Amino acid sequence: MAELTTIEAEARERAGKGAARAARRQGKVPAVIYGAKAAPTLIALDPKQVMRELHRGGWRSRLYGVKVGGETTRALIRDVQFHPVTDLPEHVDFQRLAAGEKMRVAITVLFHNEATSIGLKRGGMLNVVRHSVECYVDPDNAPEHFDADLADLDINDNVRWSNLKGNENARPVITDRDFVIATVAAPTKMPEVPTETAAAAAAAPAAAAAAPAKAAAKPAAKKK
């Protein structure tokens, strides 16, 4: 059974922008719980709780127990709206989960052993194609993240879906191929300058510097 992260909430009686503004004036973040063929539940959250969850990795796939009074609802955070200036959360959308219903979530990929990767030590660059993977999962077995081990990857090697750890209970939205998550790309080389051209370019400043010295060393012509 997946562990529930509990969030305490207060019930809101009225919907609309005016009611949402009133909740914000009281220092709360307005939110709604929808889905599972039930009427939306209007709630207000402590902003400290919201920020705590946003700062934790994997919150989009984390299973929450939203507690309103004595009732707890299993839900996912589906969207967070932020203030355009302060970047503080202004509204949170939760999706209510029905029993036995699969959920579609974006699960974060964590990359490990970059310091010991064969290809990266040789000067390769890690090119991340997907920072997260859209999957269908059972809410009770939803992983918070997938793990990608880079230690044995050489230049031009890939991390594919089948290489991820922790994906046993997840079905990716993409099913027609073993898609790429990341690759170790070859290092970018600067174009080499031909030897003769490089030598001439190096000699030019030296010749320019020597010219004034020669002029100064030449004796002045005698006046007749």
pLDDT of residue 224: 47
Per-residue pLDDT tens for 103-124?
Answer: 888 899 999 999 999 999 999 9
The model scores a pTM over 0.75 = no
pLDDT of residue 211: 53
Average pLDDT over residues 5-21: 86
pLDDT of residue 207: 53
pLDDT of residue 48: 93
Average pLDDT over residues 41-67: 90
What is the pairing mode between strands 89-96 and 71-82?
antiparallel
Contacts 24+ apart (CB under 8 A), 185-191: 185/124, 185/125, 185/126, 185/127, 185/155, 185/156, 186/124, 186/125, 186/155, 186/156, 187/122, 187/123, 187/124, 187/125, 187/155, 188/125
Per-residue pLDDT tens for 170-224?
Answer: 999 999 999 999 999 998 764 455 555 555 555 555 555 555 555 555 555 555 4
Residue 127 contacts residue 184 (beta carbons within 8 Å): yes
